[in-house]
Structure 1
């Protein structure tokens, strides 16, 4: 039976991979999220942040250390609307903090009420009050991001607290648009005043009624839909978010019941400027990292899931079971060959195997061949190139020109002088400092690497690798075919 008949092509996007839970999660990061004090998940694009987020979204509290999850995707979040809740009298690094807390406690209290009702518990006076307000103001017992941000809260003349007997009340129908509020300072003031009054009440009710219930709020795609002209302001929004998450984690009266976990790109985090950033990284961050072995384990789970009973699986070979040979060039196992042509990201590996499958033709062994492995290298190289453009086009628009610099060098291995000459052709007015900054960017993101102990290495595989402009550089082999590079000298190790 040919391999194509039993081993499928896989979705690259975690959101569309319906079988993700069955083969992705033996990651230590999962346990750290639910069983440690850490609350910030960092990783490069394609490292699996959204896959972990989807796992949290789909899993029951029984496998998540009793946490009930609230998963909020910011892919379609109206970032400019967040500014309506910005406090003008607050300092720059705290102007958005109340708006984040407001969002978390609306969602957290809504989830707490849902949990208690599902368990058949009778709501007390405070929770009945909260339920009425949430349903009336947001029009939904579990309001969406948009329903919270564009709620009718600015229409309320007053808010009665949970200790006051509450009669049923109604709010005029009709949506409040961003333009309606942004053009009316009085409406903005009322919006903030009412929202933050509710925040005070909601937070108190949540703390009073959580008991032993634990809620985890996961935030994904916080770097999506940023307008280039607003990046500086969005950065302030994220800094406020991190400060709120940290304050919740440090609140002894709250942290046992509520945990907020933002999933953030490492480069975005590194670009933020605030006090104690390095301390927060050391104390509270979970950094997603992979190596050849862990990626092999991840992909082997897929093989075990789909292999028919009559297909013999060698647990020692792991992903090598897909190939008719044990070794390729220079005695390298097939999976290690693939891993070295990735940035050690699951996405790169999945794409490469999909390309091998596309190249595959039926043969006697029914498995992938060496020829197909090498042929797939070309299409996989184009995919990695496109991923880099997608990863950096907003935050680092110079990326395409820098890749052009590497392409015009024409060879894989080059000196600083060779880079400098081609760089000057693309960036004619750039200073020497900017040139070295750009070279450092390429190095830190594994687009280029250097030799260590006689072998070409990259930051993605050797995190402590340091750049030395006196030594030769080498463009990552994942980009070789897309950039049309050739060997710089005979018999060079790949």
Structure 2
């Protein structure tokens, strides 16, 4: 069997949307279905997809849509993805919500707004289906016109929330859900309770087709805006309720909510533990195993390249030599070196392997030097760009703008103390109080790990998102950042 050159192996793209747009058939064929998503589609097992940025939440949504289309045909699958943090003309992102709209005293209104918003989006999809029982019904068409005139079709969530709070509009919908003619003013329902009525209409609609509504864009963390967190809590409450009702009604509709794991941990409400236990799929690529080559990320890359992990390893050198300027350079197994140079996500492994391919000339081989060059490029370009994007909304602008300056001032990668990070913050011209929020962000982003000097054990959040941040330190900086800023592993004596 002819050996395939390393440069010819396929590792996918950093963005699932890009991969699907370029070759949806290949995306479907090479998808690594670690969580048996195809079964979950049929069984309604989960609606909430939780995982760190780059873990493949959007890829799961795309796979579910394409899997249904493969089984039932493209014409029988209707799908829509909503990016709730989208910033475009006429669209208000969730970040725009303030305590004037959402508060602890008005959680019922926020829940009602989400129920209406989600029901509206499902209603829109059903109207696109000519075989649906709603299609062609004069009363439904009239309701659709009323909703459009009220500015609810289409609409963003903040706009829907404002209309629910104002509660100035009524709609003729009782005839559709109660079987009677709605001719009186009393037969109309106000916009504040419209969500419940529209939900009933959606749940009783009949169709032979399938519908998937995906909610994305919850990757920002607006830490200083309590209204944002109350809004997300309401979304998960209502989403879980709607998910269960769709299941009970045997409806051919699915709702998916993609949520970053550190965002999910900050959302607080009474039933969050039940949702996590019953309705959430945690996209976990953690390295619980003892050997780096046993990581499921190698199975992911093997599935993409349509080969096996063992074949992939034959393309790689056994070790990568580091510390060549020292009297005793170290040899690190290549699988460990590559894996720990990322934050253990499919996106970053894909980006790193594609970069490694760019380092290898046509017909050439992967060498220790080329692996190091690929990691250096990935760390200083790709990872830093990603980290700065993740800091948006989490850190205040003056901190995120000085992030590279702060990190490059650290005296060592292993054994970083709160004093070290404070000194780096102060040297960049900021107050020492900024160290706390920065250190927690770095931990939640998987860039700073808890370090135990006695055992040498390091806990990175991206390896297991149940780890808690050790505020007293010491910490260890991620290997990729150590390379990106040329920080010594241990400080000079």
Could you say if the C-alpha distance between residues 158 and 207 of structure 1 is closer, same or farther in structure 2, counting changes exceeding 3 Å?
closer
Asked if 1 retains the 8 angstrom alpha-carbon contact of 2:54 and 2:348, the reply is yes
Maintained 8 Å contact 1:444/1:459:
yes
Q: 1:240 aligns with which of 234, 241, 248?
A: 234
Q: Name the structure 2 match of 1:479.
A: 481
Tell me how far 1:487 sits from its aligned partner: 2.9
Unaligned runs of 5+ in 2: 322-329
Aligned to 2:201: 205
TM-score, L = length of structure 2: 0.73
Q: In the aligned structure 2, how far is the partner of 1:369 from the partner of 1:276?
A: 52
Give secondary structure in 2 for the equivalent of 1:481. Answer: helix
Cα 1:353–1:194 shift into 2, 3 Å? same
Q: 378, 381, 390: which one pairs with 2:379?
A: 381
Q: CA deviation at 1:390?
A: 0.6
Q: Distance in 2 between matches of 1:197 and 1:471?
A: 51
The match for 2:414 is: 413
- Inter-partner Cα distance in structure 2 for 1:445 and 1:124: 46
Structure 1 position 111 matched with structure 2 position 93: no
CA distance in 1, matches of 2:155, 2:242: 20
Q: Indicate the residue corresponding to 1:47 in structure 2.
A: 55
Contact residue 7 and residue 358 of structure 2 kept, 8 A = no
C-alpha distance in structure 2 between counterparts of 1:282 and 1:358, whole Å: 43
Q: Which moved more, 1:340-349 or 1:55-64?
A: 55-64
Give the count of matched residue pairs.
442
Task: From 19, 28, 44, give the equivalent of 2:35.
Answer: 28
Structure 1 residues 400 and 266, CA, compared in 2 at 3 Å: closer, same or farther?
A: farther
CA–CA distance in structure 2, aligned partners of residues 246 and 424 of structure 1: 42
- CA offsets 1:176-213 (integer angstroms, 9 cap, x no match): xxxxxxxxxxxxxxxx9754565444323233334897
Shift of 1:33: 4.8
CA shift in 2, pair 1:54/1:316, >3 Å: closer
- Contact 2:203–2:249 (8 Å) recurs in 1: no
Q: How big is the shift at 1:391?
A: 0.7
Deviation of 1:53 after TM superposition, in Å, equals 2.1
Q: Which residue of 2 is the match for residue 177 of structure 1? A: none
The 2-side partners of 1:87 and 1:413 are apart by 46
Residues 53 and 220, structure 1, Cα contact 8 Å, conserved in 2: no
Match in the other structure for 2:394: 395
Q: Give the whole-Å Cα distance in 1 for the aligned partners of 2:68 and 2:218.
A: 24
Q: 1:128 to 1:361 in 2, by over 3 A?
A: same
Deviation at 1:216, TM superposition (A): 4.2
The Cα of 1:442 is off from its aligned counterpart by 2.8
Q: Given the superposition, is the C-alpha separation of residues 93 and 63 from structure 1 closer, same or farther in structure 2, using an over 3 Å criterion?
A: farther
Which moved further from structure 2: 477-486 or 243-252? 243-252
RMSD: 4.5
Q: Find the counterpart in structure 2 of residue 186 from structure 1.
A: none
Counterparts of 1:255 and 1:45, CA distance in 2: 33
User: Which digits, 9 at most, give the CA deviation of each residue in 1:3-41, with x for residues without a partner?
Assistant: 376346753222111343232331306257533543221
Q: Sort the Cα spacing of 1:69 and 1:476 in 2 relative to 1 into closer, same or farther, 3 A.
A: same
Q: Distance in 2 between matches of 1:417 and 1:232?
A: 27
- Residue 172 (structure 2) pairs with residue 159 (structure 1): yes
1:282 equivalent among 277, 283, 298: 277
CA shift for structure 1 position 219: 0.6
Where do 5+ consecutive residues of structure 1 fail to align?
168-191, 305-312
Distance 1:299 1:263 in 2: 23
